[in-house]
Structure 1
Amino acid sequence: MTSYALGLDYGSDSVRALLVDALTGAEVATNVVYYPRWKKGLFCVPAKDQFRQHPLDYLESLTAVVQGLWATAPAGAASKIVGVSFDTTGSTPVAVDKDGVALALKPEFADNPNAMFVLWKDHTAIREAQEITAAANQASTNYLKYEGGIYSSEWYWAKALHVLRADEAVRKAAWYWVEHADWMSAVLTDTTHPEKLRMGRCATGHKVMWHESWNGYPPNAFFTSIDPLLDGLRDRLPAETFTSDQSAGALTAEWAEKLGLPVGIPVGFSAFDCHMGAVAANVKEGVLTKIMGTSTCDITVASYEAIGDKCIRGICGQVDGSVMPGLIGLEAGQSAFGDLYAWFRNLVNWPVQNLLQTSTLLDDNTREQLIRELEDKTLAALGNAASKLAPGATGITALDWVNGRRTPDADQTVSMAITGLKMGSHAPEIFRALVEATAFGARAIIERFKEEGVAIDSVVVIGGISKKSDFVMQVCADVWNCKIDVLESEQSCALGAAIFAATIGGVYPDVASAQKVMASPVSKSYLPNADAAVVYDRLYQNYLALGAYVNGDAK
């Protein structure tokens, strides 16, 4: 009898649903829905690093994406689904009240950005992150030692503290904050109330400072030493956490009706998108899985024996079971990858986006079509021209820190820089330097893992960029000087969620067994060019030197 698993992947811009035949691994149907409020740019102020998402975007899009899935799924597929699992971006927390209601769902907070989900890329909490890092370094126990030693403005506690300081109304109403990943599982199982809420290992371990050795979270005194506004917040969080191969509860009748699914099927504990994407990529020791999107998230795993008591410096955490049960999950990443390319596209298209809007030479429909066509073709055209340039030929060096630096050594205060520009420098030359910068930033992560004794022998990549640009992928292979495998699945993160859904649904006894059938095969591989790799070894030193200068620690 056919059994289906449903994986739901919440990205920065949209939610994707993937229906997978759990017995064969075949991807049967997929659907994508974009968040309506986010698409309009509501509640965001990019100039102030503010990026907020309304919970209704998540709820409405969930109904739309699953209901839309049935249009292309086999007849009767919904009744054969054995489990549902989610992945989301993170850290993306929201303030909830004493009844577990997300504040933005209440009329008095419906239009208040501080009552909404604070998206991963929101960097309004830089000051708070610095204070948390300083407090951890001064404490008798460094509570950041399992999170790379540096707390990020992209993470839970910094964001919560920033909102508490910034908004009195939210401060009075908030009981605690819940990560988007944990909220989705709780909503579908009616466990959002603080007395019922249970939280997944992934988000809590990597972003909320959970660790078994301190019975959950750092003590209340640690947080009050940073700001009394944090008093008691850690004690309201459930101390026990759960890996994603476990069920968070049964799908409620209300949500079963909304989604067209069987009542009572298990809903898994959610995890971050990159972690579940790594599971779809057959993550294992020695292999780095890199999810390439607007930013990147890099995931690998290590055995307990390999890690021992080592604490890896400057990464986004090492957490038991956050990726695969029985292994230590290691996370790193870049705050901008595709976002850097998009920034440059928007920069060079300023005349298109602005001057053509007022042109009287074209009718309205033709003008809009032309603008969209030029914007859609810009990056491909730049990449094609840049691919014809030899490594090192432009003399331009750039940093990838346009949205700060995630790893190694998180610092959202730094900015990108470009050096070597001349009067003769043209757009494809600059674009090539930006692509090289993102590859160099990724290499810095790989080098840090190796310096800390974590083996990285090859790289598997997931995400749109890996499928869209041979040029970008070849530059990465040359800069990293290693083989890169690209996964066949177009929805790898949702596929990882489906693997967990099949496990909690009882089709497989464990995640490893499900992977053997359901994980994505490799569609394409890139091998480094030996001559280019030699050149990039030298150019990488220029990247490091520029980074040191921007950091203010150059000699």
Structure 2
Amino acid sequence: MTKKYILGIDGGSQSSKVVIFDTDGRVVCEASQALQPLYTPEPGVVEHPDDDLYDSIVAAASRVMKEFRGDPADIIGVGLCTIRCCRALTRQDGTLVEPVQSWMDERLARPYEHTNDEVAYVTTTSGYLMGRLTGQLTDTVANYIGPWPMDVQTWDWFSDQETFDSFNVSRDMLYRVQMPGDVGGYVNERFSAVTGIPQGLPVVHTANDKAAEALGAGLRDETTGLVSLGTYVTGMVVGNEYVADSASYFSNFASEPHRYIYECGGIRRGMWTVSWLRNLLGDEIRAGAAAAGVSGDEHLNTLAAQVAAGSDGLLCVLDWLAPPTEPHRKGMFVGFDERHGYAHMYRAILEGIAFTMKHNMMAMEAERQISIETLVLSGGGSYSDLCMQIFADVFGIPVVRNEVRNAAGLGAAICVAVSCGVYPSFGDASHAMVRREARFEPNPRNVTLYDGLREVSAELRAQTDAILLRTRRILLDHTEANRT
């Protein structure tokens, strides 16, 4: 029997990744294309410049098809997964009118404002990209979280007209929505010509990127948790019922019809902070990495692994991007002395991320009356053995890393495998295509240490809020005085 393949597209916040899997979920070849820096022409406006989301997919897909040594005719479908909570404004033909508004754009916190008559449709990144890949203006229902007239409980638009109208988007400005695992369209001539992906292949809907990541990480019940280490770091478990009024988490669409992701509070610009530190250090890191014959991240991991657990008392507060409701918040390192260098700073960032996620996931566990027995890490941080061990020690439970680190891309492939009949259900596909690679057990001595430091870390914001609020008022008053 001829071997078959699946192409998974994962359009992320910092790069677009395209992976060809076999139907057992093993990576055959892959490519990625970094996104351009976000365009921020004024406070509150954060956009993906030009047509970057589409162009980056074209670049990555072109490279992966050139690398693929199999027969393109044996690729059975394409799974499309993209970043969530963004807004794309398109013309009648599905092309962009304006740059895509990032999830960090303050306009996403408000209902849509129609200021440009060229705009025919208001859609998500997944709807926009499905239109470019296929010519069909369809979208996955499971990416409509945030400023959309979507009822997460019914998986359909709000039936109450007053509620629907409060989002300021008419029904004829919305794409037709479908379920994860549905075929949204077929690769059109233009996308095929610029990438080499065969024309006519089905392009299958998934969900928002975090939900596709949960599916690709192998989450099937509430005994297994996931921490997604991306630009936005969050913690998740899966379940079957919608919960409207939870205090410590929210119910989000899963990448499987009528299932849910329960998602705790997260960290904005979480793993981005690692990139910030690496770029800040610049030549020093590059020189050290070159001398050791490794990447900058590997060099930092090697140095930080030599630092004792607890970073010799250095703590990190991960508020490099403050929430809109608390604009005074700032990222901080607390506790410097003469022993500390950039390896301590790097380790303190990883420990700070783990402390925050442990705190947030403990609250979710208590409210849901569950106990997470195993934690999966996915995303860039999962490549680091140091990061894996820190999470095992902070959470006090085994932490596992999967063979496929690009869990969102694998989640997209799982949706294709079910859609195309390779497996009869999402559960069967997950069981066959997701495999564990490594398991990290907690070190009891570090568990005790980290429990104490995590409690201190959780109190830092309350201790510094007054100072940061006062600083913000002084700076705002100074800016206003200079204007006048």
- Structure 1 length normalisation: TM-score? 0.74
Equivalent AA in structure 2 for residue 327 of structure 1: R
Aligned residues: 462
Aligned equivalents of 1:454, 1:242: Cα separation in 2: 33
Contact 1:459 1:484 in 2 (8 A): yes
Q: Residues 49 and 418 of structure 1: is their aligned pair in 2 closer, same or farther, counting only changes over 3 Å?
A: farther
Contact 1:301 1:323 in 2 (8 A): no
**Structure 1 unaligned blocks of 5 or more:** 104-114, 129-155, 165-169, 193-197, 354-368
The RMSD of aligned alpha carbons is: 3.4
Aligned equivalents of 2:405, 2:151: Cα separation in 1: 34
**Structure 2 unaligned blocks of 5 or more:** 469-484
Give per-residue Cα distances to partners, 1:176-208, cap 9 Å, x unaligned: 43111122122223123xxxxx33122114663
Displacement, 1:412?
6.0
The residue number in structure 1 matching 2:236 is: 299
Q: Residues 237 and 288 of structure 1: is their aligned pair in 2 closer, same or farther, counting only changes over 3 Å?
A: farther
Displacement, 1:18?
1.4
Displacement, 1:543?
0.9
Contact 1:289 1:461 in 2 (8 A): yes
Greater CA drift, 182-191 or 410-419: 410-419
Aligned equivalents of 2:77, 2:146: Cα separation in 1: 25
The residue number in structure 1 matching 2:15 is: 14
Identity %: 19
Equivalent AA in structure 1 for residue 150 of structure 2: W
Give per-residue Cα distances to partners, 1:77-122, cap 9 Å, x unaligned: x11222111111222222223554310xxxxxxxxxxx201223x3
Aligned equivalents of 1:509, 1:412: Cα separation in 2: 48
Q: Residues 188 and 291 of structure 1: is their aligned pair in 2 closer, same or farther, counting only changes over 3 Å?
A: same
The residue number in structure 1 matching 2:379 is: 463
The residue number in structure 1 matching 2:280 is: 347
Contact 2:206 2:415 in 1 (8 A): no
Greater CA drift, 175-184 or 522-531: 175-184
Residue 69 of structure 2, aligned match among 68, 74, 79: 74
Displacement, 1:473?
1.8
Displacement, 1:68?
2.3
For the residue of structure 2 that corresponds to 1:539, the secondary structure is: helix
Aligned equivalents of 1:344, 1:90: Cα separation in 2: 26
**Alignment map for 1:63-462 (pairs within 5 Å):** 63-76=58-71, 78-103=72-97, 115-120=98-103, 122=104, 124-125=105-106, 156-158=108-110, 160-161=112-113, 170-192=115-137, 198-205=138-145, 208=148, 210-211=150-151, 216-217=157-158, 221=162, 231=168, 233-236=169-172, 238=174, 241-286=177-222, 287-304=224-241, 309=243, 311-315=245-249, 317-320=250-253, 322-332=254-264, 333-349=266-282, 370=287, 373=290, 379-392=297-310, 394-404=312-322, 414-453=329-368, 455=370, 456-462=372-378
Contact 1:4 1:502 in 2 (8 A): no
Q: Residues 62 and 418 of structure 1: is their aligned pair in 2 closer, same or farther, counting only changes over 3 Å?
A: closer
Contact 2:320 2:330 in 1 (8 A): yes
Residue 57 of structure 2, aligned match among 47, 53, 62: 62
For the residue of structure 2 that corresponds to 1:269, the secondary structure is: strand
The residue number in structure 1 matching 2:27 is: 27
For the residue of structure 2 that corresponds to 1:70, the secondary structure is: helix
Q: Residues 412 and 270 of structure 1: is their aligned pair in 2 closer, same or farther, counting only changes over 3 Å?
A: farther
Q: Residues 71 and 205 of structure 1: is their aligned pair in 2 closer, same or farther, counting only changes over 3 Å?
A: same
Q: Residues 172 and 302 of structure 1: is their aligned pair in 2 closer, same or farther, counting only changes over 3 Å?
A: same
The residue number in structure 2 matching 1:195 is: none
Contact 2:139 2:205 in 1 (8 A): yes
Displacement, 1:213?
5.7
Q: Residues 18 and 449 of structure 1: is their aligned pair in 2 closer, same or farther, counting only changes over 3 Å?
A: same
Aligned equivalents of 2:306, 2:353: Cα separation in 1: 19
Q: Residues 551 and 239 of structure 1: is their aligned pair in 2 closer, same or farther, counting only changes over 3 Å?
A: farther
Q: Residues 61 and 343 of structure 1: is their aligned pair in 2 closer, same or farther, counting only changes over 3 Å?
A: closer
Contact 2:316 2:331 in 1 (8 A): yes
Greater CA drift, 382-391 or 279-288: 382-391
Contact 2:180 2:204 in 1 (8 A): yes
Q: Residues 290 and 395 of structure 1: is their aligned pair in 2 closer, same or farther, counting only changes over 3 Å?
A: closer
Give per-residue Cα distances to partners, 1:42-76, cap 9 Å, x unaligned: 7346x946542245323333333333223332342
Equivalent AA in structure 2 for residue 180 of structure 1: T
Aligned equivalents of 1:179, 1:239: Cα separation in 2: 9
